[in-house]
Copies of this chain bind each other. A is one copy, B any other.
Amino acid sequence: AERGMAGSGWARAVRGLLLDVSGVLYDSGADGGVPIAGSAEAVRRIKASGLKLQLCTNETQATRENFVRKLRALGFDISVSEVTAPAPAACRLLRERGLRPHLLVHDDLVPEFADIDKTNPNCVVLGDAAENFTYANLNEAFRLLIGMEKPVLISLGKGRYYKETDGLKLDVGAYMKALEYACDVQAEVVGKPAKRFFESALAELGVPAEQAIMIGDDIVNDVGGAQQCGMRALQVRTGKYRPSDENHPEVKPDAYVNNLAEAVDIILQQL
């Protein structure tokens, strides 16, 4: 506790926490993943303290319902309303702008778009489609885009790659770049680090930016993105964290913590 208290001015006057999920709560994998030690207990302690909590994830391989089911099976006390994810944010954007998407996404994500008109598409929505990233599906999405007077490409994140138990996988950002180049367009990214996505998460958290702290393992998409919205942001030394992150040329977290449990220790001491 003494070590944790040192220089912890960053933890003052906090009323809510935004938590990244993969690499903070658990490490993902084909087998469902493994919880990070102390994280399930940390979530319980946050809730018991009266702090507000919202998960802020770029997960697009499952509906929020299935994602929450997985987290609960791993021991996390989380409900669907406590998850901010790209697909619902994309649905709001589609409705606002009268866009009818062609979906190139994971099969398990499709139900998130059940209430959206998908006839006669006038945009393409790209998620981490995984096995659905076939030659035929990519050509189909490309042809629709290039055939539009003004192609609209909406990408659920822009990650380069991620790690699963059976190895590294290309993430949605790589396929986004392929379509951007072929169609000479720039994708609109929904999800972290988009400012609007963090603002949605804050609205769902019910706490203004200056009273919220983002906790994540991604120096750019979690920490940098949250700070751009006026939040404080911590980087955990779990998940995809690498020591070289601490020398990032542009992004400097308000603090480093070894893991979520340590972050919660320090924050609760300040309440």
Contacts and interface: CB of A to CB of B under 8 A. Distances in A.
A203 interface: no
Contacts of A177: 177-178, 180-181
A146 interface: yes
A241 to B, nearest CB: 17
Contact of A161 (B133, B142, B175, B180): B142
Contacts of A171: 182
A185 to B, nearest CB: 11
Contact of A130 (B130, B135, B179): B135
A209 to B, nearest CB: 30
A139 B163 CA distance: 11
Nearest to A132: B135
B173 A139 contact: no
**Interface size range on A against B:** 20 to 34
A182 B167 contact: no
A134 interface: yes
A161 B170 CA distance: 21
A256 B178 CA distance: 32
Contacts of A142: 161, 168, 170, 174
Given A160-B182, A178-B177, A181-B160, A170 B133 contact: no
Nearest to A181: B177
A196 interface: no
A169 interface: yes
Nearest to A140: B167
Contact of A178 (B131, B132, B167, B175): B175
A34 interface: no
Interface in A124-170: 130-135, 138-139, 142-143, 146, 160-161, 167-170
A182 B178 contact: no
Nearest to A142: B170
A102 to B, nearest CB: 15
Interface string A65-108: 00000000000000000000000000000000000000000000
Interface of A: 130-135, 138-139, 142-143, 146, 160-161, 167-171, 173-175, 177-182, 184
